[in-house]
């Protein structure tokens, strides 16, 4: 079976490492998914390399066992509160007027857009994605190659991450015995697993509520317009409960999973639940739990909305908000999102094919990484030795420019 092409996605999260394997065919077929708890990260940043490496090793070997495949290289997700994005515009004149645009023109204009932003030496660019080309005066052209024109311009979305964050996540993956095929911004990967093309065309906000960070990605007119992360997510909700109830973090986590609700108004006033306490067991009002949770969930969405506005994002996206990540499993959370963002919100279901294990929204990023890898492999045309690579990807994104890994 030497010609089987296996794609591996690794999501190094704050609470767990998730590994997902898929097989390339005409479509991608998911084979296995596994996760291993990991406490080696804090808000997307590696703070314990050994623990992280071990979690990667465990998740990957479980996937390897259940899919019965050998795994060598991986598409690895990156996030963290210091992930930032900037949109950049560039224009080039075509050397001879009125001739056909070629791939090398596309590369040239993308390179110009990249060099128009100054990226500090301590940061790494992980994506420069075309948001649309302008051919002469015609805007929003998805793929300009082959069109006759005199001028070519592009709008790009550039994502950067601190160099050390990139290095440390890559190190954990490599020390676990794998090589890094590509690094992918996690919200972009998660988008591949839960958003529909119609939503992206209409304009939609993806919110991935993890343990350490809540990642956001705004799509408009079919392409990415803003991405970022806020440092408020599930762990902080658990922390609040631990403080409010005077219990340990693991006890508070258990209580949250069993009885948590994101909206106090949805809980009957007189509902009581028993929770662990220093004395053994205690009874608390479930609405009180919901009040504690709601306050933090609201703050989390407000910060995300603020970040979006600061990034020049428009008002509420017409396609609404889509929630994913483990934190989105809190009952009533979509309702709170609707109130804060003033638009409709739905829970993102993971397009996991027949693989039930991956349907949990905590696997959205891992599954998305495999879809992303598949799409990229489908359209790979540029040679790997190039400084700037342009990949025509039909559908959402037309072209990508990437800094070579560890260049």
> Per-residue x/- mask for ligand ATP, residues 24 to 63, rule CB under 6 A?
--------------------x-------------------
Give the Cα separation of 358 and 325 in Å (integer): 12
Identify which range of 11-19, 56-64, 113-121, 258-266 contacts Mg ion by CB under 5 A.
Answer: 11-19
> Please, what is the minimum distance in Å from the beta carbon of residue 366 to ligand ATP?
9
DSSP string, 165-224: HHHHHHHHHHHTT-EEEEEEEHHHHHHHHH--HHHHHH-EEEEEE-SS-EEEEEEETTEE
Q: Which of 22, 40, 187, 210 binds ligand ATP (CB under 6 A)?
A: 210
- Report if residue 234 touches ligand ATP, rule: CB under 6 A: yes
Q: Closer to Mg ion by CB, 77 or 203: give it.
A: 77
The answer to the question of residue 260 lying near ligand ATP (CB under 6 A) is yes
13 contributes a contact to Mg ion by CB under 5 A: yes
Tell me the C-alpha distance between 179 and 76, whole Å.
Answer: 10
From residue 252, give the alpha-carbon distance in Å to each of 41, 238, 276. Answer: 20, 6, 9
CB 15 within 8 A of CB 79: no
The reply on whether position 9 binds ligand ATP by CB under 6 A is no
Q: Does 81 bind ligand ATP (CB under 6 A)?
A: no
Site string for Mg ion, 146-175 (x = CB under 5 A): ------------------------------
296 lies in the site for ligand ATP, by CB under 6 A: no
Q: How far apart are CA 383 and CA 32, in angstroms?
A: 30
CB of 369 to Mg ion, least distance (A): 11
> Does the protein bind Mg ion through residue 210 (CB under 5 A)?
yes
Tell me how far apart the alpha carbons of residues 195 and 349 are, in angstroms, rounded to a whole number. 9
- CB neighbour list of residue 265: distance below 8 Å, 6 or more residues apart: none
**Closer CB to ligand ATP, residue 234 or residue 319?**
234
The CA distances from residue 157 to 125, 188, 355, in Å, are 11, 12, 32
Kindly list the distances between the CA atom of residue 119 and the CA atoms of 125, 222, 404, in Å, as whole numbers in the listed order: 7, 26, 15
**Residues 315 to 334: which contact ligand ATP by CB under 6 A?**
325-327, 329-330
233 in contact with ligand ATP (CB under 6 A):
yes
What residue ranges bind Mg ion (CB under 5 A)?
13, 210
């Amino acid at each position: 079976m030497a010609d089987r092409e296996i794609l591996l996605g690794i999501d190094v999260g704050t609470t767990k490492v998730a590994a997902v394997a898929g097989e390339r065919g005409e479509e991608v077929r998911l084979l296995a998914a596994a996760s291993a708890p990991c406490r080696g990260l804090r808000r997307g940043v590696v703070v314990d390399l050994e623990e992280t490496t071990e979690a990667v090793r465990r998740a990957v070997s479980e996937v390897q066992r259940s899919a019965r495949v050998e795994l060598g290289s991986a598409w690895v997700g990156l996030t963290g509160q210091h992930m930032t994005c900037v949109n950049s515009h560039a224009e080039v004149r075509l050397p001879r007027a009125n001739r056909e645009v070629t791939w090398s023109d596309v590369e040239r204009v993308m390179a110009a857009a990249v060099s128009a932003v100054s990226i500090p030496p301590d940061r790494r660019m992980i994506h420069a994605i075309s948001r649309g080309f302008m051919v002469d005066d015609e805007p929003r052209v998805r793929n300009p190659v082959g069109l006759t024109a005199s001028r070519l311009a592009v709008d790009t979305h550039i994502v950067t991450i601190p160099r050390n964050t990139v290095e440390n996540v890559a190190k954990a993956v490599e020390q676990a015995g794998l090589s890094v095929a590509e690094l992918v911004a996690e919200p972009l990967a998660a988008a591949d697993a839960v958003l529909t093309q119609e939503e992206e065309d209409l304009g939609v906000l993806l919110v991935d509520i993890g343990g350490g960070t809540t990642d956001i990605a705004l799509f408009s007119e079919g392409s990415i317009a803003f991405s970022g992360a806020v440092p408020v997510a599930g762990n902080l909700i658990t922390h609040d409960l631990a403080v409010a109830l005077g219990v340990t973090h693991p006890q508070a986590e258990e209580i949250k999973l069993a009885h948590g609700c994101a909206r106090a108004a949805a809980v009957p006033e007189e509902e009581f639940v028993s929770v662990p306490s220093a004395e053994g067991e205690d009874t608390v009002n479930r609405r009180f739990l919901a009040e504690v949770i709601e306050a933090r969930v609201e703050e989390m969405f407000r910060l995300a909305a603020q970040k979006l506005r600061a990034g020049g994002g428009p008002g509420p996206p017409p396609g609404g908000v889509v929630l994913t990540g483990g934190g989105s499993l809190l009952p009533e959370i979509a309702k709170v999102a609707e109130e804060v963002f003033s638009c409709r919100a739905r829970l993102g279901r993971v397009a996991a094919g027949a693989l039930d294990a991956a349907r949990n929204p905590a696997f959205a990023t891992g599954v998305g990484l495999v879809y992303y890898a598949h799409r990229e492999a489908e359209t790979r045309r540029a040679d790997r030795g190039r400084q700037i690579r342009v990949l025509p990807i039909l559908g959402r994104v037309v072209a990508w420019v990437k800094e070579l890994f560890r260049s």
